[in-house]
Chains A and B, each alone.
Chain A
Amino acid sequence: DTGVSQDPRHKITKRGQNVTFRCDPISEHNRLYWYRQTLGQGPEFLTYFQNEAQLEKSRLLSDRFSAERPKGSFSTLEIQRTEQGDSAMYLCASSPRTSGGPGDTQYFGPGTRLTVL
């Protein structure tokens, strides 16, 4: 399968612990997005990478959150000192670069569900 993959699928942690999630985008997709989704809500944008450059961060991305995409391929999202409010589904999406036109079609992974106890 050549879709977007995320690991782990589920993570349970205690408040105050650090967690790291990984996203492997579709091969040769140079755009990568992270979203967060809480229960009953649609996904909310967190951050965006063009190749290895992090070009945009949402205000939702507090200083406890950090994302990297070191070689322009896979990406990691780390949350430090987790809080119960961080419990959510963390979704990764990738897309090929386009210029002009209708905008890129984003392909989502299955998400990582985080539960902070």
Chain B
Amino acid sequence: DAKTTQPPSMDCAEGRAANLPCNHSTISGNEYVYWYRQIHSQGPQYIIHGLKNNETNEMASLIITEDRKSSTLILPHATLRDTAVYYCIVRAPDSGYSTLTFGKGTMLLVSP
């Protein structure tokens, strides 16, 4: 799986949009971009994934650049409960099974 690069930490004011970047310049054409987050002392939580097109669900939006070398996770109205470590992961399609290779992620701190 391709490697990802994320900033170690970011700050965001409550109620504002949080935009978390991820670089994955070596991504292959069939690899997906996944985002998970981990709130302190809890297990990771799936947020969203995408291949080429932008994706949106009830938690967040995922914007993938046209060349697919980077992506941005957007939390449109951050709350204090969004404070967590956010992991960007690149995975190949499911050809049997596929583990998740986590980096260190981005620690997002949402402040009042």
Contacts and interface: CB of A to CB of B under 8 A. Distances in A.
Interface residues of B, number: 25
A108 B94 contact: no
Interface stretch (A13-21, A66-74, A77-85, A98-106): A98-106
A109 interface: yes
B99 A33 contact: yes
Contact of B97 (A41, A43, A48, A91): A48
| Residue among B45, B91, B94 with the highest chain A CB neighbour number at 10 A | B94
A31 interface: yes
B44 A104 contact: no
B97 A45 contact: no
Given A104-B97, A109-B43, A44 B104 contact: no
A45 B101 contact: yes
Interface of B, secondary structure class, is loop
A100 B43 contact: no
Interface residues on A, range: 20 to 34
A40 to B, nearest CB: 7
A31 B97 contact: yes
A115 interface: no
Interface in A30-68: 31, 33, 35, 40-45, 48, 50, 55-56
B46 A106 contact: yes
Contacts of A4: 43
Q: Which of A45, A98, A99, A102 has the most CB of B within 10 A?
A: A102
Interface string B12-53: 000000000000000000001000000001111110010100
Contacts of B87: 42
Contacts of B32: 102-103
B43 A101 contact: no
Interface of A: 4, 31, 33, 35, 40-45, 48, 50, 55-56, 91, 93, 98-111, 113
13 contacts: A42-B102, A43-B102, A91-B43, A99-B94, A100-B93, A100-B95, A103-B32, A103-B92, A103-B93, A103-B98, A104-B94, A111-B43, A113-B41
The 3 closest A-B pairs by CB, nearest first: A42-B102, A108-B43, A103-B94
